[in-house]
Structure 1
């Protein structure tokens, strides 16, 4: 039986979109909080079970999973979410494109990729590449149902399914790691998580069978090909450092870099992902560019206000916290992680530019920027690798800051009307208050190091840093403090009913951007 005709979606009114944003952030934040607690807990246990060398091999091979998520999401999912109106034919063509691409890339990774990875990284790493190959097909199965849920702004359902996927992934990874599979335990756990996501998303929407529709497939490809190419450049940008370090410095140094980058950047990216998962569907439903810029300002400021103090506090406590939590053998990752925390601050804002540019309808411009960025980043990491791991971390942080400024100057200013000078206003609350945090926390940490056990040290210094940050934020930046209060209230309870709580119905059509 053919799938039911999906509802058409146009622009949403400002009041309705505000409610959707609050509810979306609320449910995604609660879901990601649960998911990340599971992820961090399991990663701490796995850090004691899996050697740094095995983590180094995993850091190189995990690019396969990222490629699977990116190619399906940007090539098929984003076009379906971004379009003002879609019909059943778009969904059927999307399923056909996703499955064909997923099957082809799975076979390519299984049979062809080892010809390159074996001479570069060795036979053990190649086994991980092959083990990751089903990722493409699993993501292809789930991507169209996920796009339907995003179009309908059903973030509660998305978050619930993601928590189930993380729980399954953590359980399988831990069980297999205790059995001695090391890096393979991570891979099999990730594949299990993807399988749970595929089943959950498929069960949440009416079934859509693959069917070829030339016109609709062409419309999807017109947006999806440049968006996927931009995503491919972004994947290269995020993984070329692992490839360079693994090839030049060996898997042990790649393992230390993996831990440092995870602490300094990846955990930030997971927090940022709570908003990033919500922003693209919301940006795509705005009335016009003024509405888009207004929504973006609140989201960017809130994102930095939440994430920057965590990274600043991490810089202060890292020398004691990292060896205590992950084990003494990870101590060489401490200083690189402190440098990379600065990269995490910059990427908090940089990562928010891609959904904004896509929602504004400029995938080709994003592609050009990402290609140049990836090539420049690869050259920076390669040159810094001659000086060692710490030099690479410092160079990565400097590059992230420059890339953030370039994104404002080259993309956000000309295409969305957000000039480079806006960057200072975006980061002022989080930046100045985080600086106050470090000024007070750093000497306190130096004084208490060696005088307190690790746990009391981390608790005392973290509470002091949090108090300094919150007092400074409330005193100096009341608007940012109000946004933070609004988020906390929305996480603790549903917003009270008022005139703005209208059903998610379209507003009057606005001129196309």
Structure 2
């Protein structure tokens, strides 16, 4: 699991930094409307992605034993679902575009539907690599696919293709990721399909997919509402703010979630082991994400004006509202692992129905105040859902909320000190009317130094865990695919879905 965390951390850092840099470059090359159209389309595509995958890959990882017949059956089920859903999207695209009130969305959706089919071709291979704990291979597929997406999008944007630079880059990234996954995985499907084998995983996967549908509304319903009622340009601001703010959170939480699920599924009856790994992972997430999100809140205006330019100034209040929530979610996102490891996707579904409907109502409540009102409603409901959102999955592994507080408290203290110093530097540098880039640099350096000093003096356990991962990553950096390159043909020991 430590080795897996190392590789997925490398994967997430490279992937998210690449995406962040590409977003910054594209923000200078594309109009906000292009981002808005792509955000509209991706909301629909991500919803269909839930139905396409149907949770079968995670069910394969969670099961103690798997057979060749089960794997082939799941593979062909995935292909069939991919074909049906991509075809339906092509047919329904005009109607879906009319819901947003923008006909330009129709061809974008029809082309993006091909990405669902490409994902189906390599989905099971990636989950088998996870089951086998071959996270070096998973990282290789993701990094190479992201690089292909980035290169294609930037080249097409330079040529003036606007939204199509994003669309084609998306497809190229999916295709390359699938190709690399096939090259890394030794498993190949056989001409076999068993309805009985498929039914054997449906209880787990159906509940998981049901939860994912409601969780989709929790995470993406705001984009549908903003796009429909406020238009593509406002959604461009809103969607870019969310994507940029979620990069640091996704970098850490996704890495640990994937590894925890694969590893703890093998230890699902050992509650003490589950708690130990889970809370240590939460502490590392807090160590990394709390200062980043809090610091970004302090320097939001400088970051937007210096990095993106004046035409994106509307992002500033969105960052003030959403960055603190991103810090909270760096810890709260991982609770789904506890449901999945214990096989209690039925409870996960019930929680998803409740929280999803509540969140959906909050978006409409905030709509009269524009994108800032929607963001504020999102933040308020996320905070209100925290107590039950932790208590229910904690009960499955005999965990107590105070264990979480104890794990993250040192990082809350260090973050508070960092925010105080950064705010003071902002006040001084702007008071002396220094150039905005100088103000930003001084604030970031002062905040980083403060956080390092406070954390080093406290020496929390998460610091040792993080340093250990860094040392292992340095020691193993010359062998990026060693675990995945052993083609022994074994099924046995094989995303944020």
The reply to whether TM is greater than 0.5 is yes
Aligned partner of 1:325 in structure 2 is 307
User: Does 1:281 find its partner at 2:259?
Assistant: no
Residue 420 (structure 2) pairs with residue 430 (structure 1) = no
Q: CA offsets per residue over residues 295-350 of structure 1, 9 Å max, x none?
A: 11111111111111111111122111112111211011111112100110121122
Residue 483 of structure 2: aligned partner:
none
1:466 alignment partner in structure 2: 448
User: Are 1:442 and 2:423 counterparts?
Assistant: yes
Q: Are the aligned partners of 1:263 and 1:341 in contact in 2 as well (CA < 8 Å)?
A: no
TM-score by length of 1: 0.88
Partner of 1:105: 85
Q: CA deviation at 1:431?
A: 1.7
The structure 2 residue matched to 1:408, chosen from 367, 387, 390, is: 390
SS at match of 1:122: coil
Is the contact made by 1:408 and 1:423 (CA closer than 8 Å) also made in structure 2? no
Deviation, 1:69, is 4.3
| CA offset digits 1:359-391 (Å, max 9, x no partner) | 111111111111211111111111111122222
Q: Is the 8 A contact 1:315 1:341 kept in 2?
A: yes
Q: 1:418 aligns with which of 383, 399, 403?
A: 399
Structure 2 residue aligned with 1:507: none
SS of the residue corresponding to residue 223 of structure 1 reads helix
- Correspondence 1:42 to 2:22: yes
Q: Which residue of 1 aligns with 2:489?
A: none
Residue equivalent to 1:167: 147
SS for the counterpart of 1:86 is coil
Question: Aligned equivalents of 2:198 and 2:233: distance in 1?
Answer: 45
Which of 211, 217, 225 does residue 206 from structure 2 map onto? 225
Partner of 2:494 in structure 1?
none
Q: Are 1:272 and 1:307, in contact at CA under 8 Å, matched by a contact in 2?
A: no
Q: Judging changes above 3 Å, is the alpha-carbon distance between structure 1 residues 266 and 371 closer, same or farther for their aligned structure 2 residues?
A: farther
Q: Could you tell me whether the CA contact under 8 Å between 1:320 and 1:454 is conserved in 2?
A: yes
Structure 2's unaligned 5+ residue stretches are 478-485, 487-497
Q: Distance in 1 between matches of 2:361 and 2:213?
A: 17
Partners in 1 of 2:16 and 2:394 — Cα distance? 34
Matched residue, 2:107: 127
Which residue number corresponds to residue 249 of structure 1?
A: 230
Q: Post-superposition shift, 1:72?
A: 4.5
Contact 1:357-1:416 at 8 Å conserved across structures: no
- 1:169-200 alpha-carbon deviations (Å, 9 max, x no partner): 01111111122221221111111111111111
Structure 1 gap ranges (5+)? 1-20, 496-502, 504-513
**Structure 1 CA distance, aligned partners of 2:113 and 2:246?**
26
**1:5 maps to which residue?**
none
What is the 5 A alignment of 1:65-80?
65-80=45-60
* Structure 1 CA distance for aligned equivalents of residues 388 and 111 of structure 2: 38
Matches within 5 A, 1:143-222: 143-204=123-184, 205-209=186-190, 211-222=192-203
Shift in Å, 1:272? 2.1
Moved more, 125-134 or 377-386: 125-134
Cα distance per residue 1:69-111 (max 9 Å; x no partner): 4345452110111101101011111112101111111111110
Distance 1:116 1:72 in 2: 18
Preserved CA contact (<8 Å) 2:365 2:377: no
| 1:346–1:404 CA contact under 8 A, matched in 2 | no
| Residue number in structure 2 paired with 1:478 | 460
1:302 equivalent to 2:284? Answer yes
Q: Using the alignment, how far apart are the partners of 2:146 and 2:191 within structure 1? A: 28
Contact 1:289 / 1:416 at 8 angstroms: preserved in 2?
yes
Q: Do the aligned partners of 2:12 and 2:250 also contact (CA within 8 Å) in 1?
A: no
Residue deviations 1:391-442 (CA, integer Å, cap 9, x gap): 2222222222222322112x22322222334442243122221111111111
TM-score, normalised to structure 2, is 0.91
Distance between the aligned counterparts of 1:406 and 1:61, measured in 2?
A: 32
